[in-house]
Amino acid sequence: MKDARYIVGIDLGTTNTVVAYADLDTDRPAKSMAEIKVFQIPQLTDAGVIDKKDALPSFLYIKEGHELSSDALKLPWDETTPVTAGEFARERGAEVPHKLISSAKSWLCNQAVDRESSILPWETSALIDKLSPVQASCALLSHIKDAWNHEIAKDSDSLRLENLAIYLTVPASFDAVARELTVKAAHMAGLQDIILIEEPQAAFYAWIDKSGDGWRDNVEKGDLVLVCDIGGGTSDFSLIEVNEGKDGFLELERVAVGKHLLVGGDNIDLALSYFLAAGLKEKKKKLDSWQMRGLVHSCRKAKEKLLSGDDIEEYPVTVLGRGSGLIKGTIKIALAIEDLQKVVLDGFFPVCNLEVEPASASSTGMKEFGLAYEADPAITRHLAKFISSHKDDKGRPKLPTAVVFNGGVMKSAIIRERIMEVLASWQEFAGQGTIREIDAVDFDLSVAWGASYYGQAARGDGIKIRGGLGMSYYMAIEASMPAVPGMPMPTRALCIAPFGMEEGSHAESRDRLFNLVVGEKVNFDIMTSSTRHEDSVGSVIDNWEDMDIEDLTSIETQLDGEGENFIPVTFEVKVTEVGTLEFWACSRDDDRKWRLELNIRPKD
């Protein structure tokens, strides 16, 4: 909304949600940026206790029975909500895990489940009112909306969050389905004016805002900046190239996006808990599942303290006992800094060469169904694969010349130094110079901060990064050839939206006709690629299964067409200003069009 007073950036994170805003109704020089602030989010931190924090932990606790009417769990703005979000939800949910919803964002991009079905909490058979990943995301955004309206809007309807321009961040690796579902969750929460922005770009915008006009002194033409974002639940990588524009000024373009990797700080906490549990087991002290959950929670606190840079050699960890002798059975141990460094650096950030591949999943015949966690926890090996898959004109990996770190894990100087060591070794091996670290604004808050900056830049008040789609999209089309007994008809991949297609742009393919099947149930298989940057709208790829093109989703639908079976069509595609993808099949002979919705069901 162009006339809104505030521009709001929301980082809907896997483990924490942060809100930043710029007040445009302030005196400042023309064309200068409004000051950005972080919204202090009121939330339950304990039963009956409400505090304001920089971040809202992205956890939901499902209330039941007497909790639904308990004054201790009520918020100032709502007495009827069936869930509680934030710090209390995280702490209480750790004790009652069957009522805790976490990682809703990761479930939102899980292609193997129906993301609009009530499936969370995942691993519970308790008779409670479950939520879908979309509903869980909506609940977090609803808390943000209600908290903002209670604190800032007061009696002014124009300042209510639903009446403001919202810039909502998503991982660069989110596909079109996950983006559409994110927007849907926001709309369900009552937030209608939504624009999506990629998290790595937002982190880079935060750095630009911090640097002011001096940002151009820290990068130069030809720089390739790696944005390394490692948070509590995920790791994301992007490459931003610095070019010279027509007017001689530097321009920024996002040129590569990595896959959505489910490995991060939560994995580190789990590894540390298993390390300590193994030591206890040697002393004939075996922990049950309830105690292990508590140990993971304690290890997170210990990790944060030991990696804070305060020269702490060890940090106490307490494991509560079980049964009537609860206090008597309490186990007290300590996590030493040298053990933490060994587990974290050797396990998650090992030194490796650029040609290394992440370990593949085991060949176990049966696996638990759930989130698609990475089989290899070594983040540096995933980084090697990302960088080595993006090559220059001579077929050599495009190595970054600078790096911006983001995410809670990156608060540790020890981890940042290890990643820089690995990156420098790749540069040295390839003979491509040195790499430097660009100072981040804040590893926890910069994404929301940068989203608010982008909102101002979108109005012409700042620098914009050229980005567009972070992957290419394809549709499977059945080949036109004679049938062969016993052989299924082969399919080809039709490029319907190329990498880099920008928000608000429109493209169409009129040079080739296709037969659209109408009047009966059919499937449209959608695929993606994050590395095929040369394909254009209408390109057809044979043997696509071997061409770095992967399944995304399958749309099952029945298109209207009375008395017809096949309709000759062309197609057009649009990347909306919101950041989602629209595909239309267009009749050759009249003005009929059929839109295909991407958020249907997972690929079989």
- Are residues 105 and 134 in contact, defined by beta-carbon separation less than 8 angstroms? no
Tokens linked to 410: 């990156």
Tell me the per-residue pLDDT of 177-192, one tens digit each, with 9 for 90 and over: 889 999 999 999 999 9
Mean per-residue pLDDT for 66-79? Answer: 88
Q: Is the dihedral of CA 272, 277, 280, 281 positive or negative?
A: negative
- Are residues 54 and 36 in contact, defined by beta-carbon separation less than 8 angstroms? no
> Band of the pLDDT at 602, cuts 50, 70, 90?
very low
C-alpha dist (Å) from residue 453 to 80, 276, 446: 35, 43, 10
Q: What domains are there in the chain, each with its CATH number?
A: 6-197 (3.30.420.40), 219-262+354-442 (3.30.420.40), 265-348 (3.90.640.10), 472-602 (no CATH)
Mean per-residue pLDDT for 228-232? Answer: 91
State the DSSP code for 408. Answer: G
Tell me the per-residue pLDDT of 158-174, one tens digit each, with 9 for 90 and over: 999 999 989 999 988 88
What confidence score (pLDDT) does residue 598 get? 65
Q: Is the pLDDT of residue 271 over 50?
A: yes
> Band of the pLDDT at 382, cuts 50, 70, 90?
very high
Q: Is the pLDDT of residue 1 over 60?
A: no
Query: Which residues make Cβ contacts (< 8 Å) with residue 54, sequence separation at least 6?
Result: 18, 38, 40, 41, 444, 445
Tokens linked to 374: 């990475």
* Percent of the chain whose pLDDT exceeds 70: 92
What confidence score (pLDDT) does residue 281 get? 84
What confidence score (pLDDT) does residue 260 get? 82
> Band of the pLDDT at 325, cuts 50, 70, 90?
very low
Looking at per-residue confidence, does 314 or 464 come out higher?
314
- Are residues 186 and 141 in contact, defined by beta-carbon separation less than 8 angstroms? yes
Residue 117 backbone dihedrals phi, psi, to 5 degrees: -100, 155
Mean per-residue pLDDT for 105-132? Answer: 86
Tokens linked to 502: 């920008």
Q: Lowest-confidence range among 139-143, 499-503, 560-564, 592-596?
A: 560-564
What confidence score (pLDDT) does residue 390 get? 84
Q: Is the pLDDT of residue 600 over 60?
A: no
Selection from 149-158, 367-376, 455-464 with the highest mean pLDDT? 149-158
How does the average pLDDT of the chain come out, rounded? 87
Q: Lowest-confidence range among 53-67, 340-354, 449-463?
A: 449-463
Per the DSSP assignment, residues forming a β-bridge with 19 are: 10
Tell me the per-residue pLDDT of 437-486, one tens digit each, with 9 for 90 and over: 988 778 999 999 999 999 998 887 677 888 788 889 999 998 876 666 76
Tell me the per-residue pLDDT of 34-52, one tens digit each, with 9 for 90 and over: 889 999 999 999 999 999 9
Per the DSSP assignment, residues forming a β-bridge with 405 are: 228
> Band of the pLDDT at 392, cuts 50, 70, 90?
confident
Cα atoms found within 13 Å of the Cα of residue 603, Cβ hemisphere only:
16
Angstrom distance (rounded) from CA 173 to CA 444: 19
Mean per-residue pLDDT for 60-66? Answer: 92
SS (H, E, C) 244-295: ECCCCCEEEEEEEECCCECCCHHHHHHHHHHHHHHHHHHCCCCCCHHHHHHH
Looking at per-residue confidence, does 488 or 194 come out higher?
194
Q: Is the pLDDT of residue 324 over 60?
A: no
